[in-house]
Amino acid sequence: MAEPMGFFTDTTVCIGCKACEVACKEWNQLPASNGGRNTLSGDSYDNTRTLDGIHWRHVQFIEQFDETRQNGRWLLMSDVCKHCVQAGCMEVCPTGAIIRTEFDTVVIQSDVCNGCRDCIGACPFGVIGINPASNTAQKCTLCYDRLKAGLEPACSKACPTDSIVFGTIADLKKLAAARVDQLHGQGETRAYLYGADDTMLGGLNSFFLLLDRPEVYRLPPDPKMPSRNLAPGSIWSALGALLVGLMGVVSFRMRGGREAEIAERERREEAA
């Protein structure tokens, strides 16, 4: 197995050019929204709006202005599949379409997926969607095909500010830690890493440097695995089955005198 690979996305240097989105769309031949007749969101420069089956990179424009609009900032962040070490999508996939590659990335095999959409609801980050071109669930593959050929993913290749850095997880972690130290040293003490250590879903193979709470970037503060509910949910169901079975047995065994009477009377009426 090759070394685990991933992305480090440093949101402090993102300029919102969307070169990553375009490079991703071009390389992966993703169709345009609504047959090319996309609408504008009307409330920011973010007309992509969300990650889905045909948007595998999404540059978020988060506008933080006070009432007077004297003070404010834009937070820009190129969002992408997190390639979780413990991947919720892969866990629930009933066809085995979602696999972990030799690069420790998570890839949906489009020729296997049958579009049950369980992974869409299971992804803690809302990354996956149906691609209308294939009618299967799709998301970032971390350019598996390019990695196989020794190339870096299209988005990081195109990123003009190195907001998106591709590399081995070990290298990226070192780079990210140094960058946080640098920012803290410069007085930007809000900088922190999201998903870099293994406490979040075993580690996110694409992790982020953020300047505000995760929720502000539409990231879950506490993402979890779907299977957390499997054992308790099954136990409750089994107890319910036991109770229902018991009630059924008792009800069909509990035939009082009156019931026997009615049955007898009805039998007589039937016969008559």
Partner 1 sequence: MSGLAPSSTFFTEPPHWQWLIIFYFFIGGLAGGTYVLAALIDFFGRTIDRPLARLGYYVAFPATVVSGLLLIVDLTRPLRFWHMLLESNTWQPMLKTYSPMSVGSWALLLFGAVTLVSFLAALGDAGRLRWRWLARLRPPTIAGGLVAVVGAALGFFIASYTGVLLAVTNRPIWSDTTVLGLNFLLSSASTSAALLVLLAWFRWRVTFGIHALERFDAWVLVVELLALIALVVSLGEVARVWLGAWGALLLVGVVILGIVLPLVLLWRTLRFTRAGVATAVASVLVLVGGFIFRIVVVLSSEQATRGMGA
Distance CA 87, CA 124 (A): 9
Which one among 67, 187, 257, 258 touches partner 1, defined by CB under 8 A? Answer: 258
Binds partner 1 (CB under 8 A): choice among 100, 117, 146, 157: 117
Regarding 86 and contact with partner 1 (CB under 8 A), the answer is: no
Q: Whose CA is closest to 100, among 229, 227, 1?
A: 1
Does position 76 bind partner 1 by CB under 8 A? no
Instruction: Please give the Cα distance from 11 to 75 (Å, whole number).
Output: 7
Residue 10, burial from CB neighbour count under 10 angstroms (0-12, 13-18, 19+): buried
- Closest C-alpha to 226, from 60, 62, 118, 88: 88
Q: Which of 7, 8, 56, 125 binds partner 1 (CB under 8 A)?
A: 125
How many whole angstroms separate alpha carbon 32 and alpha carbon 155? Answer: 17
Stretch that binds partner 1, among 14-22, 25-33, 66-74, 260-268 (CB under 8 A): 260-268
User: With respect to partner 1, which residue has the nearer C-beta, 112 or 151?
Assistant: 112
Tokens 């933080």 correspond to 64
Residue nearer to partner 1 on the CB measure, 120 or 147: 120
DSSP characters for 98-135? EEE-TTS-EEE-TTT-----HHHHH-TT---EEETTTT
Q: Is 170 in the site for partner 1 (CB under 8 A)?
A: no
Structure letter (DSSP) for residue 143: S
**Out of 2, 73, 96, 190, the residue judged to bind partner 1 by CB under 8 A:** 96
Considering only 14-22, 76-84, 166-174, 253-261, which stretch makes contact with partner 1 by CB under 8 A? 253-261
Query: Residues 15 to 74: which contact partner 1 by CB under 8 A?
Result: 50, 52, 62
Out of 14, 80, 108, 120, the only residue in the binding site for partner 1 (CB under 8 A) is: 120
Q: How many residues bind partner 1 (CB under 8 A)?
A: 74
The residue among 134 and 168 lying less far from partner 1, judged by its C-beta, is: 134
Is 13:191 a contact under the CB 8 Å cutoff? no
Of the residues 9, 101, 136, 141, which one makes contact with partner 1 according to CB under 8 A: 136
